[in-house]
Structure 1
């Protein structure tokens, strides 16, 4: 899942990137309102984490502009402002959730998982398709009740596919959601991850539509 982080505090930003990357997000980290505005104009993040106070503006004004332009992605607002009026302002400006600094990274990750479920109209916190289950909170995959060990990137790829069974995702869409800007990507990296998932989960779990992309069919 592609996540845009807009945070100008370097130490906090570095810590968040580490925690989010470990969770499986492809993180793009920016530190100014101008860069964030430009990024959203040309990319399509799945979810955003946005600081209120930035060196060249506010996250509130950014968010208002994005919502007017039709941005539908969930937004988690970060701020040191904890007054009731500030929380109301953030939510009324288009934020889907509001987290007051300082905070524990575990709480932020849980809030992001909740926003993702809400975006997909998903009630259960675990994705399932037939005998295959993926638990984002525990970073655990089981097949027929038996745990399956996956690498971080394999887990992220499986999560993208199991979120939307029967929906074809192109190679370009998957690469965009799995890799952040500047990451070195070998030409066959995605195909290698697909191959490994098939070895671990069975050849029927991921289907290739030649010249189109990949799809996870509904499993029985």
Structure 2
């Protein structure tokens, strides 16, 4: 799971990031919300955790911005604002959950995991003569199980999540390699690995743009 944390309190933000990652939740932490558009262009998040009281923007306006761009990523508001009216505004603008500060860290984790399940892809996916079980992390052709590397599996899951959409190379690099200093060639290497086990022409290449799973 990968989440975006938008929190301008650097002490709290660092503490939350550390706690999330202890619980195996990969976290991109944004303390200057003015950079949100850049992140949303290149990352695919499961959940956005958003404070309302920020340095340069109102969290409510960020919710509206995200939804106006057609981004359906689930949003959990985490804030000291606790009136019913505050909650109403956020839900009307497109928030999916709302937790007030102070809070129990364990509850926050539970809420994030519950939200992430809402957008889960089907657990059983068929591509040609292959059956992919995303829960068991298996790929089978008939009774034969096909093995691929963990990196190829992560790439396959991203392509499945965005099936029939073109996924640009930058999004792939950030999702699979989390911004590590790797280039386009490594993407081509793992696309090649997937093509060896998928039916012919399952992955289409759009030169200079990205890849699409049909």
Task: Report the TM range for the smaller structure's normalisation.
Answer: 0.5 to 0.7
Deviation at 1:191, TM superposition (A): 1.8
Give the number of equivalent residue pairs: 199
Query: Which of 194, 205, 209 is the aligned partner of 1:209?
Result: 205
Q: Distance in 2 between matches of 1:146 and 1:81?
A: 53
Deviation at 1:185, TM superposition (A): 1.2
Q: Distance in 1 between matches of 2:157 and 2:177?
A: 14
1:60-209 alignment runs, 5 A limit: 60-67=59-66, 70=69, 72-79=71-78, 85=84, 86-99=86-99, 101-102=103-104, 103=107, 105=109, 107-114=111-118, 116-117=119-120, 124-130=122-128, 131-135=130-134, 138=135, 140-144=137-141, 148-181=146-179, 183-199=180-196, 201-202=197-198, 204=200, 206-209=202-205
Q: Is the Cα contact below 8 Å between 2:64 and 2:94 reproduced in 1? A: no
Deviation at 1:95, TM superposition (A): 0.8
Q: Is the Cα contact below 8 Å between 1:75 and 1:96 reproduced in 2? A: yes
Deviation at 1:190, TM superposition (A): 1.0
Deviation at 1:128, TM superposition (A): 3.7
Deviation at 1:198, TM superposition (A): 3.7
Deviation at 1:70, TM superposition (A): 3.6
- Secondary structure of the corresponding residue to residue 73 of structure 1: coil
1:154-181 CA-to-partner distances (Å, cap 9, x unmatched) read 2221012223444443434433543444
Deviation at 1:49, TM superposition (A): 1.4
Q: Is the Cα contact below 8 Å between 2:164 and 2:213 reproduced in 1? A: yes
Matching residue of 1:56: 55
Q: Distance in 1 between matches of 2:108 and 2:67?
A: 31
**Shift in CA distance, 180/193, structure 1 to aligned 2, threshold 3 Å:** same
Q: Is the Cα contact below 8 Å between 2:154 and 2:176 reproduced in 1? A: yes
List gaps (5 residues or longer) in structure 1.
22-26
Matching residue of 1:20: 25
Matching residue of 2:33: 36
Root mean square deviation of aligned Cα: 3.8
